[in-house]
Structure 1
Amino acid sequence: MKEQRLDAGMRDHDHYAHRLPNWRNTLRKQLIPIVRWETPYLALLQDKLRSPALDSYFAFTANLGTHTFFMIMLPILFWCGYTNIGRAMVHVLASGVFFSGFVKDMLCLPRPLSPPLQRITMSGSAALEYGFPSTHSTNAVSVAVYAIQILRTTAETRHPTVHLALQVLFYFYALSIVFGRLYCGMHGFFDVVIGSMLGAGLSIIQIVYGQAFDEWICQGSYTNPLIATLIIFVLVRIHPEPADDCPCFDDSVAFAGVMVGIQIGAWHYASTGLAWDYPIPSTVPFDLRNIGLLKAGIRICLGVIIVFAWRGFMKPALFMILPPIFRVLEHARLNLPRAFFLTASQYKSVPKLKGDDNVIPSASDIPRLLTNLRNPRKRSVSVGPQSVADAYETLAYRHMRRRESISSPDAERPKSPLKQSEPDGKEPYFGYAANSRFPSSGREGAPLRAEPLPTPVSSRVQSYEEMMGSGEVVVIPVSPPESVGSGMGDGEGSWDMPGEEEKEDREMFLKLERPRVRYDVEVVTKLIVYSGIAWLAVEGNPILFELCGLGISK
């Protein structure tokens, strides 16, 4: 019997009902109304506060809450003798990335709808992930809570003003990152509140139990780090399968690898006789007065070069070694396939992957990243769905609005905010443009509109609600972005949808940016590569520093 074709408004519900277990789908449906309720209020906040200066500021500072920033900074803490802080930061950040990604893939909740929101970002991959909870908020709050607690419990009598200023700085850092996710239209209140609570909770656990855990890892035989490693592998294995092609799992695996390498490296380095036992076992010996600024700088540069050399060598090597092994395992039915990853039997070799890592970029990408950081105006403002989850939510909300208004004879489909009618009823014009200006203020990147008359807040909120579910994919670059691929990938774009409205829905899916093709060997590759990076940070490079004469003089 031929499979019944569902229209676009029905297939969005069918999609999650078929791809998620019943309990996950039920929980998702209970939480979706929160995302929908808060969207018009987020749009109102954006409309009240937006300016080109704030756009650039929040787009730029979002980089300070990313995995890449922390992965570059954390090894330096180890090499400069702050092993206790470095391990604590790894624990809270790795746990935050893993568990926020775990919840994202479990619930599959979309980001707040665009339109009416405009999304401001310097990252092309962030919008491809689910929205709840906010990983940026988890990272920022976990770092701030831990740092503030350390500062408050450390007496500072010589420079009390500096001590207080540092605490204020961390408060400001966390608030800036969290509020920036709302301002940029990337997350809702629910996302950042739960994300912040998760980050604070992880930091409290680290503060209470962190030192005891570090001592437990470093004492005794290899059984303690082995137990920790096995627990991490089990968590990776039970990571939920998402309903859409979401890259959250990739980051979770990378930081799981970091956790493995940190524990193994700390355990072994503590037994070499080179490490200090204070303030925690396996502390890297460091004294700036003894080593000097020159040696300290060389240590950092050499360590960074070795990390990138390891990554640059091991990834292509593993991509050559692992596929034949995975084919044998697949033939013996011992493989563990994962949705949206190609199994080894489906490809001959892994091609060179561009932009394949959201955590640590390749060495060839460093100049581009530095250019982006020097030019915070290099961002894009996106209006309309950017991921499959966005598109399904757009259709779901549109379907809900149709059902609510079906009894009204005057009901009509909500119009896109990108197309507004001229006063005389002539051809519509696009309401946003990359280089448009306010007639009175001359601000760039702003909506192309006449000065509006004051309207009540309730009317503004209602107008934003009318925009929801009416989106089409439109990206407004402030400077030319890199080209990205598109397409449905797994057949979602092959719907049989007659009519103009259904054609628009299908085109919406076809215009979406999709994550690149991912290969099954990447999971093990990430675990090995990032375990190695962590090991180099806590043991490999510190031993090399001693052998090269960059350690503390005897």
Structure 2
Amino acid sequence: MCPQHNAPASEVPASKGPMQPLREPRLDAGNKHHDHYARRLPSWRNALRNRLIPIVRWETPWLAYMQDTLRSPALDAYFAYTANLGTHTFFMIFLPIQFWCGYTSVGRATVFMLAAGVYLTGFLKDLVCLPRPLSPPLARISMSGSAALEYGFPSSHSANAVSVAFYAIYTIRQSPEAYHPYVYIGSQALFYFYALSIIFGRLYCGMHGFLDVLVGSTIGAMITAFYLAYIDWLESWIFSGTYTDIFVATLVACIMIRINPEPADDCPCFDDSVSFLGVVIGINLGAWHYAQTGLALDTPIPSTVPFDLGEIGLLKTTIRIVLGVVMIFMWRATAKPALLKMLPPFFRLLEQARLNLPRAFFLNASKYTSVPTLHGDDNLIPSASELPHKIMNLAHPRKRSVSVGPQSAADAYETLAYRNRRRRESVSSLDGAIAEDDSWTPSSRPHAKPQTPALEKAEPDLLGAGLLPTPMQSRIHSYEHMMGTGPVYPSEKNATTPPDSDTGEGGDTLQFTQTLTDEENETEKREIFMKLMKPRVRYDVEVVTKLIVYTGIAWLAVEGNPLLFELVGLGMPGQA
């Protein structure tokens, strides 16, 4: 996915050639940073965000306490690696193989549940625009460069893991006689452990808060329940054989793309939603047509690819998989650049006729002449040339993935807002006044430790009476003090804690004891934003390009490649 873009697309200069020079993002001079979301969001969405942001701030010190207490190199590596088991990429790699090996019902169920999870969590992320818990005090542990650029609420990992785990457990329980008793119990336990590991890992890695994973897990469970309740109706609708039904199913997916809310920052969640809805369109079109070819089986569901490992053999099965993967990458490698070249003139015509559907943070076709080669713009299936680099990166998860400090525009705005809150609290501490628009009061500052021998002797009694903070409370207070402090680190930096000057009671405390002028606010804002990862231009044609490319990938998985297998002699004997 593309890096975070903290300025609207309308502020990017028009192209003078194939490569677009990107100037530094323009900040809104004279506007205080805590008004950013009030200016960008409708009032009801901003009000909802203001109701939820105190929860994110409250839970951050507790997450930092948990992370700091449990953290070890072994757990860092474990949760960094296993987080990949809850990503869209992991499932996209194995989904086509499920179809080619005859597990069509499982493949379709997984696609629909993942697509629903990605879309619903992405919809809510863009709707509410809640940041991830602040860093510092948390350290972010992630092997995904784009994950930190997304909003935090709710957790897509949790939704994906819970929906898939619950569906697998339900499937296992439908036929207990097919398993050895130990296998029956152990397989269910394994899926429970998988879901819990992914969920807890998001907390441990500092990528999500308790609210994020709770809502994400609830969404995942509801998706599974909905799918199991309505699966028969859904499948009968898709495989009715009429053009009208498949057209309506495709139209519904396109409408879902259009109604996705505009975020206040350039969050890549929308790109993932487009990709997965393209997959849904592709598997529906492909399955609908493949079921009518006479080559597919009708059991357990129509469009099932004929497959039996005993008849086909391990060698031919391996060749099928390799050939199928190669065809997918060939399609992606040819379709994507062709569409990026052909679509801009068409989009300019639509724009002239005022029929275009512009989206924030995407550059309109009239403002560029051509789309340059895009790198790192896909969070689901990378290009073949990027695979060796991504595989090499897996060898050093801890070295690459630990970062401290804001990583996205949402992080930066939350850091600035929290700093401003602390300053207002400091200024108003004499009379206890707090601004009316504030809705959160942090815990009181830790008391000074008794210094006299008499008080030291009485400390256990005072502690028991609740007059002195416990060690845990003191640590929570220290994490609260770290929130909104510290410099910005690049995501590649191997940092496990912020510098000592940012965690103690030193010079950083002074910045919270005075208010800043508008010019000083702007300077502070600029210093943070200029240290974030520089954004690239995003183009309006990328949305349709991604939709078509992933529709084609899904079509290849459910119809194109199975037909190819039959054509080249890799099908089931007697089926051709």
TM-score normalised by the chain length of structure 1: 0.85
Q: CA RMSD in A?
A: 2.1
Q: 1:158 to 1:524 in 2, by over 3 A?
A: closer
**1:10-58 Cα distance to aligned partner (Å, 9 max, x none):** 6223211111111111111011111011000000001100011111111
2:481 corresponds to 1:460:
no
Report what 1:443 is aligned to.
none
Work out whether 1:471 is the aligned partner of 2:486.
yes
For 2:313 and 2:399, the matched residues in 1 are separated by 38
Equivalent in the alignment of 1:335: 356
Instruction: Give yes or no for contact 2:123–2:261 (8 Å, CA) kept in 1.
Output: yes
Q: Give me the whole-angstrom Cα distance separating, in 2, the residues matched to 1:114 and 1:59.
A: 17
Q: Secondary structure at the match of 2:32?
A: helix
**Structure 1 pair 360/476, CA: closer, same or farther in 2 (3 Å)?**
closer
3-state SS of 2:519 partner: coil
Alignment correspondent of 1:291: 312
**Structure 1 residues 372, 156: closer, same or farther in 2, change over 3 A?**
farther
CA distance in 2 between counterparts of 1:143 and 1:157 reads 20
Cα deviation, residue 64, structure 1? 1.0
Quote the Cα distance in structure 2 between the aligned partners of 1:315 and 1:396.
Answer: 40
Secondary structure of 1:301's counterpart equals helix
Residue pair 2:132, 2:209 contacting (<8 A) in 1 also: yes
| 1:422-437 aligned within 5 A | none
Contact 2:126 2:262 in 1 (8 A): yes
- AA partner of residue 530 (structure 1): Y
Tell me which amino acid in the other structure corresponds to 1:526: K
Report the CA distance between 1:6 and its aligned residue. Answer: 6.6
Q: What residue number does 2:218 align with?
A: 197
Stretch deviating more after TM superposition (528-537 or 465-474): 465-474
Partners of 2:553 and 2:395 in 1: CA distance? 27
Pair 1:61 & 2:82 matched: yes
C-alpha distance in 2 between matches for 1:542 and 1:515: 40
Cα distance in 1 for residues equivalent to 2:383 and 2:347: 25
The 5-angstrom pairing of residues 381-392 of structure 1 reads 381-392=402-413
Q: Which has the higher contact order (CA 8 A, sep 6+)?
A: 2
**Structure-to-structure mapping, 1:83-102, within 5 angstroms:** 83-102=104-123
Once residues 139 and 260 of structure 1 are traced to their aligned partners in structure 2, the CA distance between those partners, rounded to angstroms, is 19
Extract unaligned runs of 5+ from structure 1: 412-453, 481-494
Q: Which amino acid aligns with 1:405?
A: S
Contact residue 29 and residue 522 of structure 2 kept, 8 A: no
Q: Which amino acid aligns with 1:384?
A: G
Counterpart-to-counterpart distance in 1, 2:178 and 2:258 = 49
How far apart, in 2, do the equivalents of 1:496 and 1:337 lie? 36
Mapping of residues 103-142 of structure 1, within 5 Å: 103-142=124-163
Return the letter of the residue paired with 1:216. W
3-state SS of paired residue (2:428)? coil
Match status 1:208 vs 2:229 = yes
Q: Does the Cα contact within 8 Å between 1:122 and 1:379 map onto a contact in 2?
A: yes
**C-alpha separation in 2, matches of 1:455 and 1:371:** 45
1:162 alignment counterpart: 183
Q: Measure the CA separation in 2 of the matches of 1:100 and 1:317.
A: 31
CA–CA distance in structure 1, aligned partners of residues 493 and 533 of structure 2: 18
Please list, as runs of the form range in 1=range in 2, the aligned pairs for 1:383-462 lying within 5 A after superposition: 383-408=404-429, 456-462=471-477
Equivalent residue in structure 1 for 2:246, among 203, 217, 225: 225
Could you list the per-position Cα deviations for residues 291-350 of structure 1 after superposition, in whole angstroms to 9, with x for gaps in the alignment?
111111111000000000000000000011000100111111111110000010111110
| C-alpha distance in 2 between matches for 1:101 and 1:496 | 37
Structure 2 equivalent of residue 448 of structure 1: none
1:461-500 matched pairs, under 5 angstroms? 461-475=476-490, 477=492, 498-499=519-520
Which secondary structure does the structure 1 equivalent of 2:177 belong to? coil
Distance 2:63 2:130 in 1: 17
Q: Work out the CA distance in 2 between the residues paired with 1:373 and 1:258.
A: 27
Partner of 1:369: 390
Mapped to 2, the partners of 1:467 and 1:205 lie a distance apart of 43
Alignment-derived partner of residue 234 in structure 1:
255
Q: Is the 8 A contact 1:247 1:515 kept in 2?
A: no
Question: SS of the counterpart of 2:141?
Answer: strand
Write the deviation string for residues 464-497 of structure 1: whole angstroms up to 9, x where unpaired: 11111223212474779xxxxxxxxxxxxxx995
Aligned length: 492
Aligned mates of 2:156, 2:491 — CA distance in 1:
25
CA contact (8 A) 1:118 1:382 kept: yes
SS at match of 1:386: coil
Q: Using the TM superposition, name which of 149-158 and 40-49 deviates more.
A: 149-158
1:98 Cα deviation after fit? 0.9
Letter in 1 for 2:393: N
Structure 2: which 5+ runs fail to align?
1-26, 433-468, 496-515
Q: Does 1:533 align with 2:527?
A: no
Alignment CA distance shift 1:5-1:229 (3 Å): closer
Q: Deviations over 1:180-224 (max 9, x none)?
A: 110000000000010011011111111221233122201231111
1:456 Cα shift?
A: 1.4
2:569 to 546, 549, 553: 549
Note the C-alpha offset of 1:156.
3.4
Q: Deviations over 1:252-301 (max 9, x none)?
A: 10111001111111111111111101011111111111111111111100
Identify the residue that residue 52 of structure 2 maps to in structure 1: 31
Percent of matched pairs sharing the same residue:
67
Q: Compute the TM-score of the two structures, normalised by the length of structure 2.
A: 0.82
1:166 Cα deviation after fit: 1.6
Whether the 8 Å contact between 2:34 and 2:416 is mirrored in structure 1 is no
Indicate which of 294, 298, 314 corresponds to 2:335: 314
Match of 1:49 in 2: 70
Equivalent pair of 1:251/1:359 in contact (CA under 8 Å): yes
Measured after TM superposition, the shift of residue 403 of structure 1 is 1.9
Contact 2:490 2:532 (C-alpha < 8 Å) held by counterparts: no
The answer to whether 1:522 aligns with 2:542 is yes
Counterparts of 1:332 and 1:73, CA distance in 2: 43
